[in-house]
Each structure stands twice: as C-alpha cells, then as structure tokens.
Structure 1
Amino acid sequence: MDSVTQIVLGAAIGEAVLGKKIGNKAMLYGAIAGTIPDLDVFASHFTDTVTALSMHRGFTHSILFSILFAPIFGWIVSRYETLKNFKSWSWLFFWAFITHPLLDAHTTWGTQLFWPFDLRLAFKTIFVIDPLYTLPFLVFLILAMMQNRTTKKRRLYNKIGLLLSSSYLVLTFLLKWVAFTQFQAALKNQNVVYLQLDTRPSPLNTILWSANVETEDAYKLGNFSFFDTKPVTFETYPKNHDLLGKLSENEKVKRMIAISEGWYTITKKNEQLYFNDLRFGLLSLAPNSQNFVFQYRIDVDDLGEVQFIEAPKDKRDGKKLLSELWLRIKGN
C-alpha cells in the first residue's frame, strides 16, 4: 500500500500496543515502524531493474524480518526513551512490521511474506491506494490522538478505525468473488476457451474490476463495474512470446517472466523489443491501447548482456486515466 496508509496503520498498531502507557509517542513510533519495510525501494538505486523488482517486498516484508529486527529496534528505543521496557517496545515494532506486509498481501504486487521461500502472496483485492480504506481509518486515528492517553474514548476510536479498515479488507474478498463470477459468465457466454483468469480492482476503488484472461496464443483484458448494464467485453492482445527468440533462454529474461508470473506480452517498435507486464493493466481504457502501466525496453549490448529499462510515463496519461476511470465506474 501507499506510504500514507502504512503510516496510519503503523500508528494505529502503535497506539493499540503502547498508547495507554506513552500516549501519542506510541503512534509516532508505530508510524515510523510502519514505513521501515518499504526502505527496500532504495535497492533500485544500486542494482539493475530485474534484481530491484525481485527484491521489492522481499526480505523486509517477511515474517523473518519482523522476528529478527523487532527486538533490535525495541532494544535501541528502550535505551533512550523514558519507558525502559524492552519487551513492550519489541512488541510494538513486531506488530507494526508484520501488519505492513499483511496489508500489502492484498494488493496486486503482493509480498514475499514467507521469504526466503520463493512464494509471493498476492490476494489482489485492493489497489495500492484506496481512499475507502485509508480515510475512515485516518479520521478515527486523529480522533484518538486528540484524547487523553488514559481515556476509554481514545482506545474506542482506535479500535473502531482498526475494525472498519479490517472489515473493508474482508469485504473486498466478496467483491472480488462477485466480479470473478461475472467475468466467468461473460467468457462462457462468448464461448471463449481460456487457460486461466485473473482479476484485480482498478485504481482507487473496488467498484470497477479488471480481468486478465489467458488463451492459447493471446491475452484478453476486460473490465466490469457493479453499475454495468451491458455485457462485459474483452480486448485481445497477442502474446508474441516468440519475438524473444534466443533471448527466452537468457537468465534475466527468465527472471522477468517469473516476476510477472507469466502475465506478459512482447511488442516490437522500430526493431526494439518491449516487455509488457499485464498484471497492472493499461494507462488507458481506450480500445486496443498499448500504453501498459509497466513496460520495459529490452536492451542487448555488444557482449550479449541484457538490460530491462522501464519506459517513462507521461503525467498526462495518469490524469486522463483517472477521468476515464470515473466514467467507466458509473457503468458501460
């Protein structure tokens, strides 16, 4: 999830663990702890694209990280804070650390919660930024912050925030199931023979859902809104995996395919190959758009070394997408 959401969650966890003893300081340390796992993003400044992607939401988002580093941070803070209880501080950091990847597991990218095992947990029930999850949570956190640390009202507000946000996460599973059945029915009605079907919420909401459908030689992408009155339609994108040629045996290419979980197409523009990660869809809802959210140029130097370079994004595309999403959410 986005940094603001993780800060809110971390602060609420800090309050639940130590708020009664140290007041708003618990929220402060919880907020800091809630952002620490995302420090893995700095890997992109020191490694190549493929390695950075494979490390993202890896070790720092694992159960192992929470177990190993919570006592370390707990010990450090207990050395200089008034509250000298090492165990209490360790619990605060542990719960702030572990709830971070648990929340991230609901997004499309997912998280390697069980690192070092090569297993990415991704429920794909919530977009990385979702105001319906964050804003009510933030409101009750602020209300709790304004109360005396010993009052029952403070604990009540914090509990309500945690309960509302958690309930919303549970609701997203139901919404995903309903959307999934709608896509299944549409594919059946259109006599589409497919290998697998993957669904996810569109940006900023859980009303409009997107589907990736794998067929033998292509992928079909479609959208469904709970306000739709017309049948679901799908756009077809050829896989073009054969365009990779001998590059398909390259180690970096294999890793990139694994990272995308096999959901990718290859396009060719002016003799240049591009790798398109389909898991995150397109930056446009226009028919036959080729403007993928994550598109990587495949560069090969004279020595045969392969590099993946992420294609730059135009801010205007993002603004246009938001406008298109608002119209599409209201139904087809």
Structure 2
Amino acid sequence: MDSLTQIVLGAAVGEAVLGKKIGNKAILYGAIAGTIPDLDVFASHFTDTVSALAIHRGFTHSIVFSVLFAPLFGWLVSRYEKYKDFKGWTLLFFLALFTHPILDAHTTWGTQLFWPMDIRLAFKTIFVVDPFYTLPFLVCLIIAMCYKRTSKKRRIYNNIGLTLSTTYLAITFVLKGLAFSKFEEALSNQNKTYEQIDTRPSPLNTILWNANVETKYNYLLGSYSFFDTQDINFEVYPKNHELLGELIENEKVQRMIAISEGWFTINKINGKLYYNDLRFGLLNIEPNSQDFVFKYLINVDGQGEVTFTEEEKTQRDGKKLMSNLWQRIKGN
C-alpha cells in the first residue's frame, strides 16, 4: 500500500499496544515502524531494474524480518525512552512491522511474506492506493489523538478505525469473488476457451475490476463495473513471446518472467523490443491501447548484456487515466 496508509496502520497498531501507557509516542513509533519495510525501494539506486524488482517487498516484508528486527528496535528505543518496557516496545515494533506486509499481501504486487521461500503472496483484492480504506481509518486515528492517553474514547476511536479498515479488507474478497464470477460467466456466454483468469481492482476503488485471461496465443483483457448494464467486452492482446527469440533463455529475461508471474506480452516498435507486465493493466483504457502501466525497453549491449529500462510515466498519463476510470466506473 502507499506510504500514508502504512503510516496510519502502523500508528493505529502502536496506539493499540502502548497508547494507554505512553500516549502519542506510541502512535509516532508505530508510524515509523510501519514505514520501515518500504525502505527496500532504495535498492533501485544501487542495482539494476530486474534485481530491484526482485528485492521489492522481499526480505523486509517477511515474517523473518519482523521476528529479527522487532527485538532490536525494541531494545534501542527502550535504551533512551523513559518507558523502559523492552517487551512492550518489542511487541509494538513486531506488530507494526508485521501488519505492513499483511496489508501489502492484499495488493497486486503482493509480498514475500514467507521469505526465503520463493512464494509471493498476492490476494489482489485492493489497489495500492484506496481512499475508501485509508480516509476513515485516518479520521478515526486523528480523533483518537485528541484525547488523553487514559481516555476510553481514545481507545474506542482507534478500535473503530482498525475495525473499519479490517472489515473493508474482508469485503474486498467478496467483491473480487463477485467480479470473478461475472468474468467467468461472460467468457462462457461468448464461448471463449481459456487457461486461467487473473482479476484485480482498478486504481482507487473496488467497484471497477479488471481481468487478464490467458488463452493459447493471446491474452484477453476485460473490465467490469458493478454499475455495468452491458456485456463485458474483451480486448485481444497477442502474447508475441516468440519475438524474444534466443533472449528467452537469458537469465534476466527469465527473472522478469518469474516476477510478472508469466503475465506479459512483447512488442516490437521501430526495431526495439518492449516487455509489458500485464498484472497492473493499462494507463489508457481505450481499445487496443499499448500504454501499459509497467512497460520496459529491452536493451542488449555489444557484449550481450541484457538490461530493462522502465518507460517513464507522465502527469498527463495519470490525469487521463483518472478521467477514463471515472467514466468507466459509472458503467458501460
């Protein structure tokens, strides 16, 4: 999830653990702990694109990380804070660190919660930024902060925020199931044979859902809003995996394929190869758009070294996507 959401979650967890004993300091340390796992993004400054993608939401988002570092952070803070309860600090840091990857596991990217096992847990029920999850949670936390640490109302409002956010997460599974059944029904009605379906919510909401459908030679991309009145339309995107040629055997290409879980297409434009990660959809929802959210130029130097360079996204791309999404959410 986005940084603000993880700060709010960490802060609320900190309040639940030690708020009654140390007041807003529990919120502060919980917020700090809630952001620590995302420090893995700095890996992009020290390594190549493929390695940075593999590292992201890896070790720092694992149970192992929470178990190892919670006592360390708990010990450090208990050394200089007036409140000296090592166990209390350790519990605060553990829960704030651990709930971070648990929440991220609900997104499309997912987390390697069970690192070092190569398993990425991704429920794909919520977008990385979802105001319906964050804003009520944030409001409840702010209200709780306005009361003294011994006040029952402080704990009540914090618990309301935690309950609302958790309930919303549970509801997203129901919404995903309903959307999935609609995609299955549409494919059946249109007599389309397929190998697998991958569904996820569109940006900022859980009303409009997207589906990637794999067939033998193509991917079918479709969308469904709970306000739709017409049939689901699927756009055809050829896999074009053969365009990779011998590059398909390259180690970095294989790592990219593993990272995208096999959901990718290849384009050749003006003699250049592009790798499109389908899991995150398109920036432009117009028919046959090739503006994928994550699109990489494949470079091969004179020594045969392969590198991936992500295509930059502009503010204009974001504005156009938001406008298109709003129209699509309202139904077809």
TM-score range, shorter chain: over 0.9
The question of 1:246 aligning with 2:255 is answered no
Query: Which consecutive residues of structure 1, in runs of 5 or more, have no partner in the other structure?
Result: none
Indicate the residue corresponding to 2:82 in structure 1: 82
SS of equivalent residue, structure 2 residue 228: coil
Indicate the residue corresponding to 1:103 in structure 2: 103
Indicate the residue corresponding to 1:170 in structure 2: 170
Query: Which consecutive residues of structure 2, in runs of 5 or more, have no partner in the other structure?
Result: none
Structure 1 residue identity aligned to 2:229? T
Indicate the residue corresponding to 2:187 in structure 1: 187
Cα separation, 2, equivalents of 1:143 and 1:150: 14
Deviation at 1:315, TM superposition (A): 1.4
Cα separation, 2, equivalents of 1:323 and 1:251: 39
SS of equivalent residue, structure 1 residue 47: coil
Cα separation, 1, equivalents of 2:32 and 2:283: 32
SS of equivalent residue, structure 1 residue 118: coil
SS of equivalent residue, structure 2 residue 277: strand
Indicate the residue corresponding to 2:123 in structure 1: 123
Identity %: 73
Task: Give the CA RMSD over aligned residues.
Answer: 0.4
Cα separation, 1, equivalents of 2:88 and 2:281: 43
Structure 1 residue identity aligned to 2:107? T
Indicate the residue corresponding to 2:283 in structure 1: 283
Deviation at 1:312, TM superposition (A): 1.1
SS of equivalent residue, structure 1 residue 277: strand
Indicate the residue corresponding to 1:222 in structure 2: 222
Deviation at 1:67, TM superposition (A): 0.1
Deviation at 1:313, TM superposition (A): 1.1
Deviation at 1:215, TM superposition (A): 0.3
Runs of 4+ in 1 over 2 A off after TM superposition: none
Indicate the residue corresponding to 1:268 in structure 2: 268
Indicate the residue corresponding to 1:50 in structure 2: 50
Deviations 1:245-290 (A, max 9, x none): 0000000000000000000000001110000000000001100000
Indicate the residue corresponding to 1:139 in structure 2: 139
Indicate the residue corresponding to 2:67 in structure 1: 67
Deviations 1:200-221 (A, max 9, x none): 0000000000000000000000
Indicate the residue corresponding to 1:4 in structure 2: 4
Indicate the residue corresponding to 1:318 in structure 2: 318
SS of equivalent residue, structure 2 residue 77: helix
Deviation at 1:314, TM superposition (A): 2.0
Cα separation, 2, equivalents of 1:304 and 1:183: 42
Q: How many residues align?
A: 332
Deviation at 1:130, TM superposition (A): 0.2
Cα separation, 1, equivalents of 2:281 and 2:226: 19
SS of equivalent residue, structure 1 residue 309: strand
SS of equivalent residue, structure 1 residue 175: helix
Cα separation, 2, equivalents of 1:315 and 1:190: 37
Cα separation, 1, equivalents of 2:213 and 2:182: 13
Deviation at 1:317, TM superposition (A): 1.1
Deviations 1:105-136 (A, max 9, x none): 00000000000000000000000000000000
Cα separation, 2, equivalents of 1:271 and 1:13: 52
